[in-house]
C-alpha cells in the first residue's frame, strides 16, 4: 500500500511546493527591478553556500555541524527519496544511501532538539519550536519506510491489519515530515529559509562579498531622474532581491545578539526589522512574530502591506521611525548574519525616504543637514575657519603645492578641539617620518558620511561631487586620514560618483612607515592597553591588523576585549546616531567602556574621532582614551644611529625616494 | 492631517518668503524668520497657504525658494523682479488682488537693505493693521486673530488683531520644519509678471561688508589721573579667573551674587 | 563747554620740556605734575614717567607726555564732576528740533535711549550759531528723574489710557500729532525689540520717509548736504547685520545701541511742552491682552541671558531647581545630566546640545568636557561651582567657587531671598 501511497505523497508535495514557490516568487517580484547576473549567480550559488555561508555559520561549531548533518542529510534524503520511493528505484545501493542520509538527518535533528530545549533569547520560538519534531518525523518516517525497501524488514511487514495500521501511521508521519520540509519550504514555514536563502545567495545584491571580497559602500540613488523614487516608502519599493533576502532570514537572532542599539534598549532589533519587512511583503500584522520585540515596543501593534507605507507620517504602520533611527550602521548584524542579509542597506533605504520625502530627520538631524548644506560641515562652523587649529603648524596646502605624495584628509574633526590633538599628533608623526604631505585646507568639505547615513543622499552627492572636483585638481599618490568614516566614504563610496582614490587609515599608514624604518619609538612605559576597533575601519574596511601592529611596534601588548576585531562593539557614534539621539535604557558608549574596564586596561587606544568623542564622553569611564596617532607621537624617538646630519636626512631625502 | 476648521470660513494665508543668506558662508537658503512664518502658517487650521516671493530667479535664489517648497508645498508664486528693484508695488498689487486674510512674513530680510520696513509699507499701502515679532498664532476666529508676541528674554504678550492683517515673525517662533528634497524638487515656481519699479536710492548708497563695531571704551571721569590710571589698568572685577578655595559656602555665594549683580542679570 | 578757557602756548611748551629751567614752576602753577608718583598697592612708591592714558573731552583716549595731565587747556584744574556742577545749557530759540522717542523700559530711560539722546545732541549742537533742541516724546507715566542730565531740552509727555501697553496705532497717531505741531527736523528712534523698532518703522511708513535702520555711526558730511541739507552721513547695518550701508541721514532714523556717547557733561532744560490740540481719537484694530506669564525654565536656552546649568556633580536636584527659580535663571544641563535622565534633552548645553550665548553662565558641578566648553564659548561671564579645583571648567571660569554645590546654592538662595526681603522692607 505504501508503494502506491508514497509516490503520490511525494509528487503531490512537490507539486504543491512548486505552486508555493510560484507564489513566493510573485511576492518577491513586487519589488523594484535590480540588475542581477541570474545565471552566473545560480552557478555560483553552491560555492557561496558551501564556502562563504558556512564560513559565517562555522563561527558556532556545534550549530555548524548540526546544520551540516541536518541539512546535508535532508538534501540527500530528499533526492534519494524521490528516486527510491517516488520512482521506485530501490535496488542496490540507493536504498542504503537513503537510510544513511535519513539517519544522519535524524542525528542532526537530535542536536536541533537539544538546542530547542532551552533556547537562548535571541532565537525565535513559535513555529521554530516544532522544527526539530518535524525534522525527526521526516527522517524517522523516511528511515522507516525505507527499511522494507532495502529488505531489512520483510516485504509483507506492512501487510495485514496490524501492518495496515502501522503503514497508516508511517504515512502520516511521512506526510507531516514532507509537509514541513517540502510544502513549508515555499509556503512560509521555518524551512522557507532553505528555498529563499539559496536563491538569495544566488541573486545577492552584493555578489562582491562572496569569495573573500568586501562590499560595504552604500549604493547611490539616481537623483538625475525625477521619476526615480527617493528611498523606500513601502515594502514594494525595495528591489526584488532585497525582498528575497528578507525572506531568507532564519531568525537565528545572531544580529540581535550583536546589535548595540538592541543591547542599549533602543527600539531596534535587526531580526524583528527583517521579519517586519517579510510581514510587509506579504501583508498582515506582526502578531505572529515569536522572537524578542523591539525594546519597549510590544508585538502585534504594527501592520503593513506591500503597497502601504512602512513608516506612517502620523501614527503606526509597519515600523516606527525611531526604530530606523536607532541604527548606528555599525554593520555588526550584517557581519554576523549567516544568511548574509543586508540590514544596513535596508535601513538607510528607508531613512532616505524619511529624510528626502517626509523631511523628518529627528532631533538635531535637520539642523546638521542644514549646516552641511550651508557650511559644508555638520557643526555649522565657518568654512574659512577650518584650518584655525593649525595656524602655528604651517601645514603645506595643496593649493600652493599642486602635488604631494600624501594628501592628508583632516575631516570635520578639524573643528573639534579634542580631535585637533589627534591631528596635531598625526602631523608630528608624518613630519618625523619625513612624509611629503599636503592638506586641502579650506578647500576640504565634509566627506558626506553623516548626510548619507541620515538618508540625505542629495546632500551627500553634492558634497561628494564637489570634493571629487577639488581632488581632481591635485596630484597625490594616496589619501591618508585619521577618520575612518571619511576613509570609508572616500575609498568605497566616491567610486560610484567618479572618484577613485587609494585611501589609507592613519594606522595603516603609520604601520607602513614603521615597517619601512622611517619611525622609531621609545619603549612603552604606560600601563595596560586595549584597542577598540572602529566599525568603519574594521567591519567596513577589514583593517584589524594595522592598528594592532602599530601598538605592537610601540611595545604595547594589547589586552583584547571580549568583543573585538570583526565582533567589536560599536561606540554608538556612527550612522548619525548621536545626532538622531533615540533614547534607550543604557548608552552604547557606556557599555563599551564597561568592556574596556573588564580587560583591566588603563588606556584604550582608538583610531576614530567619533569613537574618541563617544568613549571620552563616558563619565567615570576608568580608562584614558587616546588615538593611536597620539600614542605614536608621544613615543617618537630619534633614529637610533643617526649618521651626521640625521635630522636633515629624515626630513628631505626620504620624501623624494618614496614618490 | 491638518484639522479642518469646524465653523469658521476657510482662512486664506499668504506667507511672503524671501531668499535668505547664511551668515557665515553667504549661501542662499530659506530666510530663517520667513521659514518660521511658513511653519506658523502650517500649524494653523488653514486650508489655504500660499507662498509669495518677489525677486529675481537665478541659481542661488531658486535653491532657496525650493527650500520653502520642501516644507510641503506644491507651488510658490513668484513675482519676477529684476535685481535691485523695489518689490513693494508688485507685492501690494498681488496682495490686494488675492486679498488673503492673513499675511505672514519675517521681520526683515537677510539680504539687501534688510530694513524690515516692507511689512509696514505694505500695511500702510493696504490700510491693514500690522503686528510685529510674533511667536505664535494661537487662534483665528470670526475675523480676529489671537497672537503671541515675542518680547526679549523669552517673554510673551498676547494680542488680538482684526483681520485682514500683516504679521511679522520673530526668531523665537517655533523652528521651521525640515525642508525635504523630494517635494522641493517636484514643486513648481509659478512666475507671475508684476509691475517693476527700480530702487534708485539703493543704487546711490555705498554698501560694503559690515565692519566690526568698535567696542565702547569705559570712559572713566575721575578727578585725578591716578584714578583714571587705576581704572584703565585694573582687571575687570570678578573676572580674570578668580578661584575661591577654602571658603565657606556663604562667602562663595556672596562672591557669586556680586558678579550676578554687576552683570545685572538678577532681577 | 561753557567755561571759556584760555590757553597759554608758552606755558604748555615749558610744561612739556622737562629740561626747561622754569619747568617745575610752570607745572606747579598749572597745578599738575604729581601723578607720575603714587603709592603702589603694595605700599611701594611707584613712578610712572609717562602719564598713562586719560580720556579726552571727545571720548578719545589720549596719552599726553607733557606732564599737563588733563585738558590741554592748561587752565585751572577744573574738576567739574558732580551733577550740581554740570553746566546748564538752555536753548531758548531752537533753530530746529530733533525728536527722540525713547523706549522707556520700566519707566526709565534705558542705556539705548541715552545713547540715542547723545546722538540727538550731536545733531542739535552741530552748528553753534543755530543750535537745535532735543525733543523727547514720552508715553505714559514714568519714573525717570534724569531727563535734564540725559540731554533733553524739550519734553512731551503724552498720557492717555489708549496709549498704554502695546498700542502702536494710538502711539503712531500721537507721534503724527507731534509731527504736525512741531515738524522736527529729525526723528530718532531706538532700533530695539522693546518697541522702538516697531514704532519707528510705523512712523516712517506713515510719514512717507525712507528711514535709515540699524544706524550705528553718524558723521558730518558736507557732500551729503544735498538738497535736503541734512549735512550728515550715517552708517547703517543691513542684510541681517552683514552689510554696512553708508547713506545721507534721512529724516527718520532708527539707531542701534552705542550709536553715540550718552550726554554726561551738561545739563539741559527738559522743558515741558504740551500738544496744541488733543490727540485724535481712533479705532484700534490691535488689542493688548497683556503679558503672559512665562516660566524662566521654559525660555529657550539659546535665548536665555542667565543660565544655571547642572552637571554630573549635582546631587540635590530639588535644591538646584529651587535656586534656578529664585535666581530667575534658565536651567541648562551638561550631556551627562541629560543622559542620566535628570534633565530633558532640550536643556543640554554644548557643542552637541545647544550653543548658548548667555551673559552669565553658572556651571554647577560641571567638570567641563571639551564639547561643553565649546558650547559656552560665547558666554561673557562663567561662574563655576565645583568640588574639583583641577577641572577644566574652573580654568575657563571667571569666578570659581570650590565647594559643595548644594551648600553654595543654598547659601546663594538664602542671600538673595534675604536681600529681597530687606528691599521690600526698605521700600
Q: Which residues of A touch B182 (CB under 8 A)?
A: 230, 356-357
- pLDDT score at B58: 84
Kindly state whether B71 is in contact with chain A, defined as any CB-CB distance less than 8 angstroms: yes
CATH 3.30.470.20 fits domain C88-273: no
B141-194 tens-digit pLDDT: 888 999 999 887 677 899 999 989 999 999 889 889 999 999 999 999 999 888
B231 band by pLDDT with thresholds 50, 70 and 90? low
Q: What's the predicted TM-score (pTM) here?
A: 0.84
Kindly state whether A363 is in contact with chain C, defined as any CB-CB distance less than 8 angstroms: yes
Arithmetic mean of pLDDT over chain B: 85
Measure CA of the first residue to CA of the last residue in chain B; give whole Å.
Answer: 44
Q: What is the dihedral of CA A363, A369, A371, A372, to 10 degrees?
A: 150
**Residues A221-228: what's their mean pLDDT?**
90
- pLDDT score at B118: 93
**Residues C180-197: what's their mean pLDDT?**
91
Instruction: Answer yes or no: are the C-beta atoms of C196 and C189 closer than 8 Å.
Output: yes
Give percent of chain B with pLDDT exceeding 90. Answer: 42
Kindly state whether C11 is in contact with chain A, defined as any CB-CB distance less than 8 angstroms: no
B221 band by pLDDT with thresholds 50, 70 and 90? low
**Interchain contact, B253 vs C198, CB within 8 Å:** no
Q: Hey, what's the cell of B77? A: 508664486
Measure the CA–CA gap between A218 and A206, rounded to whole angstroms: 10
Q: What's the CA angle centered on A90, arms A87 and A94, to 5 degrees?
A: 105
B230 band by pLDDT with thresholds 50, 70 and 90? low
- pLDDT score at C266: 87
Partner A, chain C 324-343, Cβ-Cβ below 8 Å: 335-336, 339
Domain extents in chain A: 2-202, 229-358, 370-635
Of B120, B133, B267, the CB nearest to C328: B267
Q: What is the CATH number of domain C296-426?
A: 3.40.50.1220
Q: Which residues of C touch A616 (CB under 8 A)?
A: 369
For the ranges A201-205, A322-326, C76-80, C355-359, which has the lowest average pLDDT?
C76-80
Q: Among all residues of chain A, which has the CA nearest to that of C366?
A: A619
**Interchain contact, A587 vs C339, CB within 8 Å:** yes
* DSSP calls for A417-471: HHHHHHHHHHHHHHHHTT--EEE-GGG----SHHHHHTT-HHHHHHHHHHHHHHH
Q: What is the CATH number of domain B12-204?
A: 3.40.50.620
Closest-CA distance of chain A to residue B151, Å: 25
B38-67 tens-digit pLDDT: 999 988 886 689 999 998 888 778 999 999
**Interchain contact, C370 vs A417, CB within 8 Å:** yes
**Interchain contact, C59 vs B217, CB within 8 Å:** yes
Tell me, rounded to whole angstroms, the distance of Cα A418 from its chain centroid.
Answer: 30
Q: Which residues of A touch B25 (CB under 8 A)?
A: 374-376, 382-383
**Residues B99-123: what's their mean pLDDT?**
91
Matching fold, domains C88-273 and C296-426: yes
Instruction: Pick the more confident residue, C395 or C205.
Output: C205
Q: Among all residues of chain A, which has the CA nearest to that of B176?
A: A366
Measure the CA–CA gap between A195 and A248, rounded to whole angstroms: 8
Q: What is the CATH number of domain A229-358?
A: 1.10.1060
A392, pLDDT greater than 90: yes
Kindly state whether B252 is in contact with chain C, defined as any CB-CB distance less than 8 angstroms: yes
Q: Which residues of C touch B207 (CB under 8 A)?
A: 238, 243-246
**Residues A615-637: what's their mean pLDDT?**
90
CB-count burial class (<10 Å; 0-12, 13-18, 19+) for A372: buried
What letters, b where the CB count within 10 A reaches 16 and e where it falls short, cover A582-619? bebeebbbbbbbebbbebebebbbbbbbbbbbbbbbbb
**Interchain contact, C371 vs A363, CB within 8 Å:** no
Interface mutation vs chain C, best among A572, A610, A617, most C CBs within 10 Å:
A617
Q: Hey, what's the cell of B193? A: 509678471
Q: Hey, what's the cell of C215? A: 544706524
Partner A, chain C 207-246, Cβ-Cβ below 8 Å: none
What letters, b where the CB count within 10 A reaches 16 and e where it falls short, cover C314-352? bebeebbeebbebbbbbbbbbbbbbbeebbebebbbbbb
Interface size between A and B, measured as CB pairs under 8 A: 54
- How many residues comprise chain B? 267
- How many residues comprise chain A? 659
Q: Hey, what's the cell of C17? A: 620740556
**Residues A614-631: what's their mean pLDDT?**
90
Q: Are strands A624-627 and C61-62 parallel, antiparallel or unpaired?
A: unpaired
- pLDDT score at A340: 93
Arithmetic mean of pLDDT over chain A: 90
C393: Cβ–Cβ under 8 A, 6 or more apart, which residues?
C363, C366, C367, C368, C372, C373, C382, C384, C386, C400
Kindly state whether B29 is in contact with chain A, defined as any CB-CB distance less than 8 angstroms: yes
ipTM of the modeled complex: 0.85
- pLDDT score at A3: 75
Closest-CA distance of chain C to residue A418, Å: 7
Q: Which residues of B touch A382 (CB under 8 A)?
A: 24-25
- pLDDT score at A90: 66
- pLDDT score at C420: 85
Q: Hey, what's the cell of C178? A: 507731534
For the ranges A197-201, A278-282, A487-491, B233-237, which has the lowest average pLDDT?
B233-237
> Subunits that touch chain C (at least 3 Cβ pairs < 8 angstroms)?
A, B
Q: Identify residues of A whose CB sits under 8 angstroms from chain B CBs.
A: 226, 230, 313-314, 355-361, 365-366, 369-370, 373-376, 380-384, 456, 458
Q: Which residues of A touch C396 (CB under 8 A)?
A: none
What stretches of A298-416 show up as alpha helix (H) in DSSP?
321-325, 332-336, 343-353, 365-375, 398-401
**Interchain contact, A230 vs B22, CB within 8 Å:** no
C205 sits in which H/E element: helix C196-207
Of C258, C287, C404, the CB nearest to B159: C287
Closest-CA distance of chain A to residue C346, Å: 10
Instruction: Pick the more confident residue, A327 or C75.
Output: A327
**Under DSSP, is residue C98 helix (H, G, I), strand (E, B) or coil?**
strand
C62-114 tens-digit pLDDT: 665 554 444 333 333 344 444 456 788 888 888 899 999 999 887 888 889 99
- pLDDT score at B232: 65
Instruction: Pick the more confident residue, C2 or A482.
Output: A482
Domain extents in chain B: 12-204, 225-263
Kindly state whether B174 is in contact with chain C, defined as any CB-CB distance less than 8 angstroms: no
- pLDDT score at C64: 57
Kindly state whether B28 is in contact with chain A, defined as any CB-CB distance less than 8 angstroms: no
Kindly state whether B181 is in contact with chain A, defined as any CB-CB distance less than 8 angstroms: yes
E-state strands within C211-251: 212-220, 232-238, 243-248
Give percent of chain C with pLDDT exceeding 90. Answer: 27
Q: What is the dihedral of CA A276, A277, A283, A287, to 10 degrees?
A: -10
Q: Are strands B12-16 and B48-55 parallel, antiparallel or unpaired?
A: parallel
Domain extents in chain C: 9-79, 88-273, 296-426
A239, pLDDT greater than 90: yes
C27-63 tens-digit pLDDT: 767 665 545 555 556 667 666 555 455 556 666 656 6
A44-98 tens-digit pLDDT: 999 999 999 888 898 989 989 999 999 999 999 999 988 888 887 767 788 889 8
Interface size between B and C, measured as CB pairs under 8 A: 257
Query: Among A188, A294, A308, which residue's Cα sits nearest to residue A247?
Result: A188
Kindly state whether B167 is in contact with chain C, defined as any CB-CB distance less than 8 angstroms: no
C107-161 tens-digit pLDDT: 888 889 999 999 999 999 888 888 899 999 999 888 888 888 899 999 999 988 8
Of B111, B121, B242, the CB nearest to C398: B242
**Residues B69-85: what's their mean pLDDT?**
91
- How many residues comprise chain C? 427
Q: Which residues of B touch C407 (CB under 8 A)?
A: 249
Interface mutation vs chain A, best among C240, C335, C351, most A CBs within 10 Å:
C351
Q: Which residues of A touch C349 (CB under 8 A)?
A: none
**Interchain contact, C351 vs A379, CB within 8 Å:** yes
What stretches of C111-183 show up as alpha helix (H) in DSSP?
111-124, 168-182
Amino acid at each position: 500500500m505504501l508503494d502506491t501511497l508514497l509516490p503520490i505523497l511525494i509528487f503531490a508535495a512537490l507539486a504543491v511546493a512548486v505552486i508555493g514557490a510560484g507564489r513566493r516568487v510573485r511576492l518577491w517580484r513586487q519589488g523594484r527591478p535590480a540588475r542581477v547576473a541570474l545565471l552566473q549567480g545560480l552557478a555560483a550559488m553552491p560555492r557561496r553556500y558551501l564556502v562563504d555561508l558556512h564560513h559565517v555559520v562555522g563561527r558556532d561549531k556545534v550549530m555548524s555541524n548540526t546544520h551540516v548533518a541536518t541539512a546535508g542529510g535532508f538534501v540527500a534524503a530528499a533526492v534519494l527519496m524521490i528516486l527510491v520511493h517516488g520512482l521506485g528505484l530501490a535496488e542496490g545501493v540507493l536504498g542504503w544511501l537513503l537510510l544513511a542520509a535519513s539517519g544522519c538527518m535524524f542525528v542532526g535533528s537530535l542536536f536541533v532538539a537539544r538546542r530547542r530545549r532551552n533556547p537562548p533569547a535571541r532565537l525565535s520560538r513559535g513555529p521554530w519550536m516544532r522544527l526539530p519534531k518535524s525534522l525527526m518525523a521526516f527522517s524517522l518516517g523516511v528511515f522507516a519506510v525505507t527499511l522494507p525497501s532495502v529488505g531489512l524488514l520483510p516485504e509483507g511487514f506492512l501487510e495485514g491489519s496490524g501492518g495496515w495500521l502501522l503503514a497508516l501511521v508511517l504515512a502520516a508521519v511521512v506526510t507531516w515530515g514532507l509537509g514541513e520540509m517540502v510544502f513549508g519550504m515555499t509556503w512560509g514555514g521555518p524551512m522557507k529559509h532553505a528555498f529563499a536563502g539559496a536563491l538569495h545567495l544566488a541573486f545577492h545584491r552584493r555578489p562582491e562579498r562572496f569569495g573573500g571580497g568586501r562590499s560595504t559602500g552604500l549604493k547611490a540613488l539616481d537623483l538625475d531622474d525625477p521619476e526615480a523614487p527617493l528611498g523606500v516608502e513601502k515594502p514594494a519599493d525595495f528591489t526584488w532581491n532585497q525582498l528575497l533576502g528578507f525572506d531568507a532570514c532564519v531568525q537565528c537572532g545572531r544580529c540581535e545578539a550583536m546589535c548595540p542599539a538592541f543591547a542599549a534598549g533602543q527600539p531596534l532589533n535587526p531580526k524583528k526589522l527583517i521579519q517586519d519587512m517579510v510581514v510587509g511583503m506579504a501583508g498582515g500584522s506582526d502578531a505572529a512574530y515569536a522572537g524578542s520585540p523591539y525594546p519597549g515596543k510590544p508585538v502585534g501593534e504594527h501592520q503593513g502591506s506591500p503597497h502601504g507605507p512602512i513608516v506612517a507620517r502620523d501614527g503606526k504602520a509597519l515600523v516606527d521611525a525611531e526604530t530606523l533611527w536607532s541604527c548606528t550602521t555599525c554593520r555588526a548584524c550584517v557581519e554576523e548574519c549567516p544568511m548574509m542579509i543586508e540590514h544596513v542597506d535596508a535601513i538607510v533605504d528607508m531613512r532616505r525616504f524619511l529624510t528626502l520625502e517626509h523631511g523628518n530627520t529627528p532631533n538635531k538631524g535637520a539642523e546638521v543637514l542644514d549646516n552641511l548644506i550651508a557650511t559644508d560641515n555638520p557643526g555649522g562652523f565657518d568654512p574659512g575657519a577650518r584650518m584655525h587649529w593649525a595656524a602655528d603648524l604651517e601645514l603645506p596646502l595643496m593649493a600652493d603645492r599642486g602635488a604631494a605624495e600624501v594628501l592628508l584628509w583632516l575631516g570635520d574633526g578639524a573643528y573639534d578641539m579634542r580631535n585637533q590633538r589627534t591631528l596635531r599628533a598625526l602631523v608630528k608623526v608624518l613630519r618625523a617620518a619625513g612624509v611629503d604631505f599636503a592638506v586641502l585646507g579650506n578647500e576640504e568639505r565634509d566627506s558626506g558620511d553623516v548626510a548619507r547615513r541620515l538618508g540625505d543622499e542629495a546632500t551627500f552627492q553634492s558634497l561628494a561631487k564637489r570634493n571629487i572636483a577639488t581632488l581632481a585638481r591635485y596630484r597625490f599618490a594616496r589619501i591618508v586620514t585619521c577618520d575612518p568614516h571619511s576613509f570609508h566614504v572616500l575609498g568605497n563610496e566616491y567610486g560610484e560618483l567618479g572618484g577613485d582614490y587609494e585611501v589609507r587609515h592613519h594606522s595603516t599608514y603609520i604601520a607602513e612607515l614603521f615597517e619601512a624604518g622611517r619611525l622609531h619609538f621609545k619603549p612603552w612605559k604606560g600601563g595596560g592597553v586595549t584597542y577598540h576597533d572602529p566599525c568603519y575601519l574594521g567591519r567596513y574596511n577589514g583593517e584589524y591588523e594595522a592598528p594592532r601592529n602599530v601598538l605592537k611596534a610601540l611595545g604595547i601588548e594589547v589586552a583584547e576585549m571580549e568583543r573585538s576585531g570583526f565582533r567589536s562593539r560599536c561606540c554608538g557614534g556612527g550612522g548619525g546616531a548621536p545626532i538622531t539621539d533615540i533614547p534607550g535604557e543604557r548608552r552604547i558608549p557606556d557599555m563599551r567602556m564597561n568592556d574596556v574596564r573588564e580587560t583591566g586596561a588603563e588606556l584604550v587606544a582608538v583610531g576614530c574621532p567619533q569613537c574618541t568623542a563617544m568613549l571620552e564622553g563616558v563619565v567615570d569611564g576608568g580608562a584614558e582614551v587616546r588615538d593611536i596617532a597620539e600614542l605614536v607621537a608621544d613615543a617618537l624617538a630619534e633614529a637610533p644611529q643617526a649618521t651626521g646630519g640625521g635630522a636633515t636626512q629624515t626630513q628631505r631625502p626620504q620624501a623624494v625616494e618614496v614618490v | 492631517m491638518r484639522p479642518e476648521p469646524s465653523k469658521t470660513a476657510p482662512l486664506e494665508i499668504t506667507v511672503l518668503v524671501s531668499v535668505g543668506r547664511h551668515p557665515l558662508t553667504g549661501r542662499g537658503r530659506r530666510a530663517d524668520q520667513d521659514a518660521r512664518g511658513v511653519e506658523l502658517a502650517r500649524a494653523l487650521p488653514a486650508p489655504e497657504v500660499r507662498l509669495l516671493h518677489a525677486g529675481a530667479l537665478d541659481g542661488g535664489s531658486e535653491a532657496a525658494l525650493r527650500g520653502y517648497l520642501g516644507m510641503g508645498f506644491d507651488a510658490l508664486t513668484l513675482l519676477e523682479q529684476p535685481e535691485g528693484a523695489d518689490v513693494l508695488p508688485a507685492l501690494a498689487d498681488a496682495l490686494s488682488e488675492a486679498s488673503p486674510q492673513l499675511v505672514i512674513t519675517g521681520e526683515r530680510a537677510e539680504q539687501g537693505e534688510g530694513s524690515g520696513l516692507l511689512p509696514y509699507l505694505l500695511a500702510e499701502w493696504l490700510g491693514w493693521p500690522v503686528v510685529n515679532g510674533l511667536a505664535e498664532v494661537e487662534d483665528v476666529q470670526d475675523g480676529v486673530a489671537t497672537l503671541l508676541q515675542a518680547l526679549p528674554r523669552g517673554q510673551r504678550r498676547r494680542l488680538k488683531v482684526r483681520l485682514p492683517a500683516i504679521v511679522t515673525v520673530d526668531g523665537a517662533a517655533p523652528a521651521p520644519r525640515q525642508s525635504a528634497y523630494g517635494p522641493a524638487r517636484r514643486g513648481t515656481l509659478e512666475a507671475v509678471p508684476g509691475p517693476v519699479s527700480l530702487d534708485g536710492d539703493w543704487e546711490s548708497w555705498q554698501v560694503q561688508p559690515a565692519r566690526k563695531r568698535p567696542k565702547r571704551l569705559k570712559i572713566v571721569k575721575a578727578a585725578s589721573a591716578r584714578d583714571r590710571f587705576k581704572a584703565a589698568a585694573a582687571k575687570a572685577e570678578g573676572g580674570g579667573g578668580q578661584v575661591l578655595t577654602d571658603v565657606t559656602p556663604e562667602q562663595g555665594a556672596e562672591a557669586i551674587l556680586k558678579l550676578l549683580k554687576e552683570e545685572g542679570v538678577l532681577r | 563747554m561753557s567755561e571759556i578757557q584760555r590757553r597759554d602756548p608758552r606755558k604748555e611748551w615749558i610744561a612739556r620740556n622737562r629740561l626747561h629751567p622754569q619747568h617745575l614752576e610752570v607745572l606747579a602753577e598749572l597745578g599738575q605734575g604729581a601723578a607720575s608718583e603714587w603709592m603702589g598697592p603694595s605700599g611701594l612708591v611707584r613712578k610712572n614717567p609717562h602719564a598713562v592714558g586719560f580720556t579726552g573731552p571727545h571720548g578719545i583716549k589720549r596719552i599726553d607726555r607733557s606732564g599737563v595731565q588733563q585738558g590741554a587747556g592748561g587752565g585751572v584744574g577744573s574738576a567739574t564732576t558732580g551733577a550740581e556742577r554740570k553746566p546748564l545749557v538752555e536753548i531758548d530759540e531752537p533753530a530746529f528740533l530733533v525728536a527722540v522717542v525713547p523706549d522707556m523700559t520700566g519707566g526709565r530711560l534705558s542705556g539705548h535711549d541715552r545713547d540715542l539722546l547723545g546722538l540727538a545732541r550731536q545733531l542739535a549742537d552741530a552748528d553753534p550759531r543755530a543750535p537745535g533742541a532735543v525733543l523727547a516724546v514720552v508715553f505714559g507715566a514714568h519714573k525717570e528723574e534724569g531727563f535734564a542730565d540725559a540731554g533733553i531740552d524739550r519734553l512731551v509727555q503724552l498720557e492717555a489710557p489708549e496709549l498704554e501697553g502695546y498700542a502702536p496705532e494710538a502711539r503712531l497717531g500721537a507721534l503724527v500729532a507731534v509731527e504736525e505741531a512741531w515738524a522736527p527736523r529729525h526723528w530718532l528712534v531706538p532700533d530695539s525689540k522693546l518697541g522702538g523698532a516697531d514704532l519707528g518703522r510705523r512712523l516712517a511708513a506713515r510719514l512717507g520717509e525712507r528711514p535709515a535702520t540699524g544706524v550705528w555711526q553718524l558723521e558730518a558730511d558736507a557732500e551729503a548736504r544735498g538738497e535736503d541739507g541734512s549735512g550728515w552721513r550715517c552708517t547703517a547695518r543691513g542684510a541681517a547685520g552683514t552689510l554696512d550701508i553708508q547713506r545721507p541721514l534721512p529724516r527718520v532714523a532708527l539707531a542701534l545701541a552705542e550709536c553715540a556717547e550718552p550726554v554726561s557733561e551738561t545739563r539741559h532744560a527738559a522743558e515741558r511742552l504740551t500738544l496744541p490740540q488733543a490727540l485724535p481719537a481712533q479705532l484700534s484694530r490691535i488689542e493688548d491682552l497683556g503679558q503672559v506669564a512665562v516660566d524662566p525654565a521654559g525660555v529657550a536656552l539659546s535665548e536665555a541671558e542667565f543660565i544655571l546649568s547642572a552637571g554630573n556633580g549635582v546631587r540635590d536636584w530639588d535644591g538646584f531647581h529651587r535656586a534656578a527659580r529664585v535666581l530667575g535663571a534658565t536651567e541648562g544641563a551638561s550631556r551627562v545630566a541629560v543622559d542620566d535622565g535628570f534633565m530633558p534633552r532640550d536643556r543640554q548645553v554644548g557643542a552637541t546640545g545647544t550653543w548658548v550665548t548667555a551673559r552669565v553662565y553658572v556651571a554647577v558641578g560641571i567638570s567641563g568636557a571639551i564639547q561643553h566648553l565649546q558650547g559656552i564659548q560665547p558666554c561673557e561671564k562663567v561662574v563655576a561651582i565645583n568640588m574639583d579645583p583641577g577641572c577644566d571648567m574652573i580654568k575657563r571660569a571667571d569666578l570659581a567657587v570650590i565647594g559643595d554645590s548644594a551648600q553654595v546654592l543654598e547659601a546663594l538662595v538664602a542671600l538673595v531671598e534675604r536681600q529681597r526681603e530687606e528691599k521690600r522692607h526698605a521700600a
